[in-house]
Structure 1
Amino acid sequence: MDTSRRPTLKDVARAAGVSLASASYAINGSGSVGEATRAHILQVAAGLGYRPNTSAKAMKTGRTGALGLVLPDLTNPFFPSLAQAVLQTARRQGYNVLLADTGGALEEERTAIRFLIDQGVDGLLWFPIDDTNPKGRRPAPEMDRIPVVVLDRNLPDHDVVLADYALGGRLAAEHLIAAGHVEIGVISGPHAASSARDRTEGAVQIIQQNARLAWQVENAFSLDLDPTAQTALARREVTAVIAGSDMIAIGAIRHLQNLGLAVPDDVSVIGFDDIPWAALNNPPLTTIDMPIEAMVVSAIETLVQRIAEGPGARRRTVFDVSLVERASVRSIG
């Protein structure tokens, strides 16, 4: 074989002493070929450095074996964890993943989606920036050409995979109230996202029934607190704060410490998401955990089914969340 060119399937078949059909069956994991023969062919292919020609396969089947993943902000540690779960799960399904980060900008989101579709992805996992105008939310008309599964946002025209965010808000509020806190503040995430609104509404409902909502402000999913959040914390009228995400919670803890207040001795703080930083924070952060791996598995299974079978009745899958108790909440009862 000419070592200057890329090995072909014919080269594999010739070196393994089998038919071209058997070599194809072994490489693609299909057809009728014995396990010993399959193992032999794969060993020969590896020795030759054979790699399937995905372009040729795409021309033949109309599929590339790639999925697109669109995320809003990779600077938030929640999203690299999510991306890793997607990559691992997709790999087990036989897919590669092309990743795009939109930086929280709608125009970048539109560009990223068009780029991934132009690259020929077979389906799209989409974590939208927001869902303030959910009806018909489709940044690019090209999205009609491929299956799309939405993560975290409740868009009515798509298959969606969500967590029970309102339950998370209720669990956070109930935990603080059970610890004796009566004066509670809420720093929510951006209300452009229904997940942030649901978290806030769940928490506020419980607080208003069983304690006092001292204040409620809105903040980006960021360590940097908006002036309204800084001012609210500086008033020193709460013993506990519920944050709309772990990033907000860690930012709130930093600001409280800059004010000379101790967490949790002076103010307890609870977050949402259970990002990797949560357990490493000082103090370790009490938070609400979302089952990211299970959500990703569900999303990819749905997407792969849509790729294989075509459109069907809209699927909406909701996962429970749970409280993770650490050291940022103190009992004052």
Structure 2
Amino acid sequence: MGRNGRISIREVARAAGVSTTTVSDALSGRGRLSQSTRDRVASVAADLGYTPHPNARWLRSGRTGALGLYVPESTVGLEYYMRLALGAADEAFAHGLALTLVPTWHGPTGPSLHLDGVVVSDPVRGDPMLARLAALGVPVVTCERDMTPGAQHAARAQGDHGRGARLLLDHLAEQGAQRIAVLCPGDDTSFTADIRRAHEQWCAERGVEHLVYDVPFAVTPGDVAAAVRRALSRQPSPQAVVVVPDGGVAPALQAILASGRRVPDDLLLASYVDSLALASMPVPITAVEIHPREMGHEATRLLADLVEGRSEPGQVVDVPVRLVVRQSTCVDQAVT
């Protein structure tokens, strides 16, 4: 046995009466060996309980066995991205790969990253990290489209957020709301750009005012409360409020109740991003489920297939979106 208690390739070779090169070729499928030799070596290895060293296949292939996940600093800590990261880690583990969280670095040179590829979550237009990661010379797979002009990446997983926004807006209209205020970050990500565009088109089709209030991506309770107050001070006031950023709907509900309005009797309230907490809030919140864990799975699967030679660049995978209707948008189920 080796120093760490593992059966070594030398032990297999000694027991099988062959060289270590023959063992390596037999177990890897390489070399010009008879099938009987391959079978005998495999049988001896199994009897001894031999398993290859976890780094051996990467050393032979010139790869590292590690993938990177880059999440923009402004989104770290949000539940959506934690769930996405868990999905990415699950998928990497299923492929026998390690997953490394890649931090933001500043300046032209950064750390020496030994990665076979990188998943980028919600690329932000103008983020200098996108060019730095591309310069690593490894495949980059994005979660959602990169809005940077001329950007080209190896593959992409994406949600149809234009459709998700329309599902939500149509539901609100069915509940009697036409004037719908949307609290949304700017259009530096395809996620927010698609939602804003869908809302603008939806309003134009119905001849109603396009009410959008800018808030940061990593929104604070103060940001949300200020935006809600601006929206509710408008005359005529909106009949529904949609909060796009993850984690923003709880302070929105507080601000609405503080204004003396009830949800949903006086005002409908919805979140674009669903989360585990929304179903158990004092007024359960209608939301769009955009499946972050599946997004992490799909993007990492695309990357693993690329680096392991099972697919060609250019693939795009759609992650489904689904409307989850709860009490906050159903006018006959008011909670005060």
TM class by smaller structure: 0.7 to 0.9
Q: Work out whether residues 245 and 272 of structure 2, in 8 Å CA contact, stay in contact via their aligned partners in 1.
A: yes
SS of corresponding position for 1:97: strand
Instruction: Go from structure 1 to structure 2 and tell me whether the alpha carbon gap of 1:313 and 1:99 turns closer, same or farther (over 3 Å shift).
Output: closer
Q: Work out whether residues 180 and 211 of structure 2, in 8 Å CA contact, stay in contact via their aligned partners in 1.
A: yes
AA at the equivalent of 1:77:
E
1:224 to 221, 226, 237: 221
Instruction: State the match for 1:288 in structure 2.
Output: 288
How many Å apart are 1:44 and its aligned residue? Answer: 2.8
Cα distance in structure 2, aligned partners of 1:154 and 1:259? 39
Instruction: Go from structure 1 to structure 2 and tell me whether the alpha carbon gap of 1:10 and 1:203 turns closer, same or farther (over 3 Å shift).
Output: same
Q: Which has the larger radius of gyration?
A: 2
For residues 110-259 of structure 1, the aligned pairs below 5 Å read: 114-115=110-111, 118-131=112-125, 138-140=131-133, 142-143=135-136, 145-155=137-147, 156-158=151-153, 159-210=155-206, 212-213=208-209, 215-221=211-217, 222-226=219-223, 228-235=226-233, 237-259=237-259
Unaligned runs of 5+ residues in structure 2 are 31-37
Higher normalized contact order (CA 8 Å, seq sep 6+, divided by chain length): 2
Give the TM-score taking structure 1 as reference length. Answer: 0.78
Instruction: Go from structure 1 to structure 2 and tell me whether the alpha carbon gap of 1:254 and 1:97 turns closer, same or farther (over 3 Å shift).
Output: same
Cα distance in structure 2, aligned partners of 1:22 and 1:277? 57
Give the TM-score taking structure 2 as reference length. Answer: 0.77
Q: Work out whether residues 181 and 211 of structure 1, in 8 Å CA contact, stay in contact via their aligned partners in 2.
A: no
Q: Work out whether residues 16 and 41 of structure 2, in 8 Å CA contact, stay in contact via their aligned partners in 1.
A: no
Deviations 1:97-153 (A, max 9, x none): 111354xxxx56987xx54xx33111111125512589x95234633x111111123
Cα distance in structure 1, aligned partners of 2:80 and 2:312? 31
Instruction: Go from structure 1 to structure 2 and tell me whether the alpha carbon gap of 1:274 and 1:141 turns closer, same or farther (over 3 Å shift).
Output: closer
AA at the equivalent of 1:52:
H
2:85 to 64, 83, 86: 83
Q: Work out whether residues 177 and 210 of structure 1, in 8 Å CA contact, stay in contact via their aligned partners in 2.
A: no
AA at the equivalent of 1:67:
L
Instruction: Go from structure 1 to structure 2 and tell me whether the alpha carbon gap of 1:39 and 1:184 turns closer, same or farther (over 3 Å shift).
Output: farther
Instruction: State the match for 2:98 in structure 1.
Output: 96
Deviations 1:153-210 (A, max 9, x none): 3354112221111111111110100111122211112322221021122123223433
Instruction: State the match for 1:271 in structure 2.
Output: 271
Cα distance in structure 1, aligned partners of 2:330 and 2:264? 5
AA at the equivalent of 2:92:
A
Q: Work out whether residues 219 and 225 of structure 1, in 8 Å CA contact, stay in contact via their aligned partners in 2.
A: no
